[in-house]
Amino acid sequence: MKKISLILVFILGIAVVTACGSSQKLETYNPPTAIGQSPATQAPQQTGSQDLTRSDSQGAVTVDVKPVNLSDPGETLAFEIGMNTHSIDLSIDLATLATLTTDNGRTVQATVWDAPQGGHHVSGTLSFPASLDGKPVLDGATKLTLIIKDLDAAERDFSWELPR
């Protein structure tokens, strides 16, 4: 009889705790958009014409590209790149697959892919020389196109209109 009483008290205690706890507000989990970022530390997303991020979801890989320093390139033109997939390994040197072209005929090959090797979620910086034959690549250009070839798709194009 004591065992049954103890079991009933235990069950009633759990029921009371559960009933009281259900009136509390539950917090919603918002997953981060980038590996290693908590929702509280994420930078706000830009909207409209100010958002410079371009995306391509061909094949099994989604690629997001954002220029870092178009208005003040220095020695290199840099792009933040995020690649995500659940089916292939991303152990690649993206610099060998990427070129940058302007609407006035200048084309440069990427020189550095600064990112960890491998995995299904890779983020890093892709850099290009900011000058070609002693002239700034962006000089006189109104459109810039980054092309990535053979990354689980024949070609991926990311374009930006440049201010005059």
Q: pLDDT (tens digit, 9 = 90+) per residue, 42-82? A: 333 333 445 899 999 999 999 999 999 999 999 999 999 99
Residue 117 has a pLDDT of 85
Residue 2 has a pLDDT of 59
Rounded Cα–Cα distance for residues 153 and 137 (Å): 27
Domain ranges of the chain: 53-161
Residue 23 has a pLDDT of 35
What parts of the chain have a pLDDT lower than 70?
1-50
- pTM given for the model: 0.69
Residue 29 has a pLDDT of 27
54-56 sheet: strands from edge to edge:
54-56, 62-67, 76-84, 121-129, 112-114
Residue 5 has a pLDDT of 52
Q: Which amino acid is at 14?
A: I
Closest C-alpha among 47, 72, 57, 68 to residue 124: 68
Residue 118 has a pLDDT of 84
Residue 11 has a pLDDT of 58
Residue 38 has a pLDDT of 32
User: CA-based angle 27:32:34, to the nearest 5?
Assistant: 175
Task: Reply yes or no on domain 53-161 having CATH 3.40.50.720.
Answer: no
Residue 10 has a pLDDT of 52
Are 87 and 113 spatial neighbours (Cβ–Cβ below 8 Å)? no
Rounded Cα–Cα distance for residues 140 and 142 (Å): 7
Residue 19 has a pLDDT of 37
Residue 119 has a pLDDT of 87
Residue 63 has a pLDDT of 97
Counting other chains too, the contacts that 129-132 makes at CB distance below 8 Å and 24 or more residues apart are 129/75, 129/76, 129/77, 130/73, 130/74, 130/75, 130/76, 130/77, 132/106, 132/108
Alpha helices, H only, the chain: 2-21
Rounded Cα–Cα distance for residues 76 and 127 (Å): 6
Length of the chain: 164
Q: Which amino acid is at 116?
A: P
Residue 35 has a pLDDT of 37
